[in-house]
Amino acid sequence: MLPKDIMRRVREIQVRTGRQVTDVLAGEYVSVFKGSGIEFDEVRPYTPGDDIRSIDWNVTARMGEAYVKRYVEERQLTLMMMADVSASQDFGSDSRSKRECAAEFCALLAFSASRNDDKVGLLLFHSGTQQYIPPRKGQKHALRVVREVLTQGEEAQPPGPRMRIRDLFKGPRTRIRNAREGTNIAAAIEFFLTVNRRRTVCFVVSDFIDDEYEQALRAANRKHDVVAVLITDPRELEMDNVGLVALEDAETGLRRVVDTGSKAFRQALSDGAEQRLHDLRTRLATSGIDLIHIDASRSVVDPLVRFFKNREKRLRR
């Protein structure tokens, strides 16, 4: 049985995102995701202007007049949420953690899909694949997706804030990591490709603090529609002047005391974060992969709506 606070958080997300799906996202979702292909519907008599390549020669020979094949769009989609549940996702300097933000994002898409009778699947990963839920339809299944993102690793999370400081401190590891204290996007993508043969719209939700995953993303994007969803916390991009602070890297255990009163330190942190974001955008754009950037302290809906509108503009060209 899940703890009451977890159930309360799931219901809060359901109520909040359910309203947003109805009021904001319903039309945007349908206009952008048209379906994964076409399927045969019927044959009908040829009329001037029809593409001669669509003529069904077997039927034409039997009937003595030209008939063409008619196809309709295959509307039902399959959405796959690949959510990073590594230890760095538990960090949050505001009212919610990056993992809670990821759960809300997955809820928006899962309930939008459920509203349109589409299938939704979930793949949770850290240094390896933690859990895989095959795509299914229905509101109960959508709720399960949200619950699993929220609760995965809940018991293993130690008290107190922990963040990634890998780029601030280079040195030997101070302890042995467990599986959840690492991120391997490439391995998760490889698993996804082995279990999903049908074309899928795949959202990779992570802070992307990892290396050597671009080739795997490109390979997946050749067969599927891959969208990268970057979730960051404001304190990962900019730090206030609060004096001496002890930081621990959630995924390596490295510890360092930093002087946030140092303007040079704060500037170096900000510059490094901006450079990482710029490099990520550039690499994804080169690979033809869309990027949605979500600030965990702000609205999840606004970046998703911008993504829908930008993609719809491209489709109209």
The CATH number of whichever domain residue 126 belongs to comes to 3.40.50.410
pLDDT tens digits, 98-112 = 999 999 899 888 888
Q: Would residue 34 count as lying in a domain?
A: no
Residue numbers of the domain that contains 48:
40-73
CA dist 219 and 215 (Å) reads 6
Q: Would residue 32 count as lying in a domain?
A: no
- Which residue's structure tokens are 């450079």? 275
Identify the band that residue 39 occupies on the pLDDT scale cut at 50, 70 and 90. Answer: low
Q: Would residue 10 count as lying in a domain?
A: yes
CA dist 32 and 193 (Å) reads 23
Number of domains observed in the structure of the chain:
2
Q: Where are any strands of DSSP class E within 27-165? A: 37-45, 67-74, 78-84, 119-125, 129-136
- Mean of the per-residue pLDDT values of the chain: 82
Same domain, 139 and 230: yes
Segment 190-196 shows an average pLDDT of 94
Same domain, 129 and 107: yes
Identify the band that residue 160 occupies on the pLDDT scale cut at 50, 70 and 90. Answer: very low
Segment 9-18 shows an average pLDDT of 75
Identify the band that residue 288 occupies on the pLDDT scale cut at 50, 70 and 90. Answer: very high
Same domain, 53 and 155: no
Q: Would residue 136 count as lying in a domain?
A: yes
Residues 217/220/225/231 CA torsion (nearest 10 deg): -30
Q: Would residue 197 count as lying in a domain?
A: yes
Same domain, 61 and 170: no
End position of a domain, from candidates 73, 97, 131: 73
Does residue 19 have a pLDDT over 50? yes
CA dist 220 and 189 (Å) reads 7
Same domain, 135 and 189: yes
- Residue 102's nearest CA partner among 228, 290, 241 is 228
Same domain, 55 and 81: no
Q: Which of 70-79, 137-146, 210-219 comes out lowest in average pLDDT?
A: 70-79
Q: Is 243 left (phi over 0), alpha (psi -120 to 50) or beta?
A: left
Same domain, 79 and 104: yes
Residue 24: its pLDDT value, please?
67
Same domain, 8 and 100: yes
Residues 6 or more apart in contact with residue 53 via CB below 8 angstroms: none
Residues 6 or more apart in contact with residue 185 via CB below 8 angstroms: 84, 125, 204, 206, 208, 210, 213, 216, 217
Residue 174: its pLDDT value, please?
39
Does residue 20 have a pLDDT over 60? yes
Residue 310: its pLDDT value, please?
87
Same domain, 82 and 125: yes
Same domain, 203 and 155: yes
Same domain, 18 and 46: no
Q: Would residue 232 count as lying in a domain?
A: yes
